[in-house]
Structure 1
Amino acid sequence: MRIPLRDTAAVAAGVLAPFAAALVLLPLRTSVTHTNAALLLVVVVVAVSAFGNRFAGALAALSAAAWFDFFLTAPYQSFHIQERADIETAVLLLLVGLIASQLAAYGRTMKRVAVTDATHLERLHGTTRLARVSTSSDDVVRRVREELMEVLELRSCRFEYGTLIGRPPRLDPDGTVKVADWIWDLERQGWPDGEIELRAIVHGRYQGRFMLTPEPGSAPPPLEARLVAADLAAQAAAALDDDSVSAGPRS
């Protein structure tokens, strides 16, 4: 599984940014108090945390404490601290940096969750609006297929009309994946091999199924995304059911 470029950059910043900040403060170490220097390093830790993730923020806190000790406290260019006040400042820098990094990462996570939830809601509302005004269930199926590609981050997705053929892995309405009637450990094992079916069923009537092909080696989407996918499939089923009622079963 590939590590996102943003996470790689954040980890690198966690190591290098406090080091660079300590070098900038190096000519000022006799004129700037250790407390003020530590506060400036905390700002760097928070910036790394806001850009990256919890791990990068924690790494930045450790790096900041280490370079504060090495460059800004006597004896210089040594990880030994003589003064008790400097020891307390270094420990507080580490603790405050760790706390600030976790809070910044948590805030970023909450923002991402809020944006994701709003996007999922818009997907459902957009599909519902199309189903309400469209005269063709094929348009709704096409829209759902496109939305499934996005929400599940798929390589491809196609829709099969008609009866069930074979027993491929199945994504159920509760967000679980079943392989041969056994619940697949999606979080630990990742997507099962091959295509995965997502059945379009409404009022107990089977209308067809979406055949999902994930990107090779990709991480499975969270449960919320899988539940949205099931709701989208149900909307396609409802549109197909309306057509079958008015025009008869589809061959």
Structure 2
Amino acid sequence: MRFTVRDALAVVAGAVAPFVAALLLLPLRGSVTPTNTALVLVVVVVAVSALGNRPAGALAALSAALWFDFFHTRPYQSFHIQDRADLVTALLLLAVGLIVSQLAARGRTLGRVAATDASHLERLHGTARLASLSTSSDDVVRRVRAELAEILELRDCRFEYGTLTGRPPRLEPDGSVRVDGWVWDLELQGWPDGATELRAVAHGRYQGRFLLTPAPGAVPPSLEARLVAVDLAAQAAAALDDDRPVRA
């Protein structure tokens, strides 16, 4: 899994935001019960989790419990808790914060997955519509090349009609990548050197291949994205005439 700049900022927020919130609540310490203070800190944990990630949410929950203890339980400015009720509140703050942070992060992940699935589905449907309306298989192949370049983050994507020269790395129908007959660990090793072959096959008939050249430093696409790429290539193959080469 990639750890982006946004993820790093979220982790920092997870450590700092509860501390700042606990400080801002200090003037209200005498008029607001510890339980209500803990509820406010839970809101901070949820905000960090929803905007960040699971590690950030977990850190925010731990930070909230610690600074609640330090600033809002007796003896103040100490990590010792004198009152049993405050101890229970602090432990509940930690437990609830951890649970809510994971639920919020999961909801964010599911939302992102749903958006990705919808995008992939639109790509497939859009290509299928073009194939049904267009009289030229060239148009379909050009559309698939553009979709592949975007979904796989490619620097270049070209199509070769009916050729099988050389033994480049190959993107297989199951989404795996093979190099010289061996399965290549794409997630761990990144794209293999050079162009990767994606064959366009429909109804068992080979029509050509797409040669995929990733952009420098491109993150390997997810398995789902690779499977969508395979389906797009199959749509291009179905649109091709048996005899006519594609002008690409």
TM-score, normalization: structure 1? 0.92
Whole-Å separation in 1 of the counterparts to 2:196 and 2:168: 6
Q: Alpha-carbon deviation of 1:153?
A: 2.1
**Equivalent position amino acid for 1:182 in 2:** W
Q: 1:250 aligns with which of 236, 245, 248?
A: 245
Whole-Å separation in 1 of the counterparts to 2:186 and 2:211: 17
In structure 1, the gaps of 5 or more residues are: none
Where do 1:9-28 residues align within 5 Å? 9-28=9-28
2:163–2:209 contact (8 Å) kept in structure 1: no
Between 1:31-40 and 1:73-82, the stretch displaced more is 73-82
Whole-Å separation in 1 of the counterparts to 2:2 and 2:57: 21
Whole-Å separation in 1 of the counterparts to 2:12 and 2:156: 34
SS of the residue corresponding to residue 30 of structure 2 reads: coil
1:5 aligns with 2:10: no
Match of 2:41 in 1: 41
1:78 aligns with 2:78: yes
Between 1:28-37 and 1:83-92, the stretch displaced more is 83-92
Match of 2:59 in 1: 59
Q: Alpha-carbon deviation of 1:39?
A: 0.6
SS of the residue corresponding to residue 32 of structure 2 reads: coil
Whole-Å separation in 2 of the counterparts to 1:72 and 1:124: 56
Q: Alpha-carbon deviation of 1:188?
A: 2.6
Whole-Å separation in 2 of the counterparts to 1:23 and 1:52: 22
1:224 aligns with 2:224: yes
SS of the residue corresponding to residue 115 of structure 1 reads: helix
Between 1:21-30 and 1:212-221, the stretch displaced more is 212-221
Match of 2:113 in 1: 113
Match of 1:69 in 2: 69
1:95 aligns with 2:95: yes
2:52–2:105 contact (8 Å) kept in structure 1: yes
Whole-Å separation in 1 of the counterparts to 2:40 and 2:130: 53
TM-score, normalization: structure 2? 0.94
CA 1:218–1:3: 2 relative to 1, 3 Å: farther
In structure 2, the gaps of 5 or more residues are: none
Match of 2:198 in 1: 198
SS of the residue corresponding to residue 213 of structure 1 reads: strand
Q: Alpha-carbon deviation of 1:2?
A: 7.1
Match of 2:148 in 1: 148
Whole-Å separation in 2 of the counterparts to 1:2 and 1:187: 10
- Same amino acid, percent of matched pairs: 76
SS of the residue corresponding to residue 216 of structure 1 reads: coil
Between 1:144-153 and 1:99-108, the stretch displaced more is 144-153
Whole-Å separation in 1 of the counterparts to 2:128 and 2:83: 67
Q: Alpha-carbon deviation of 1:115?
A: 1.1
Between 1:181-190 and 1:21-30, the stretch displaced more is 181-190
SS of the residue corresponding to residue 97 of structure 1 reads: helix
Q: Alpha-carbon deviation of 1:9?
A: 2.2
SS of the residue corresponding to residue 206 of structure 2 reads: strand
Deviations along 1:186-205, one digit per CA (max 9) or x if unpaired, are: 23322222211111111222
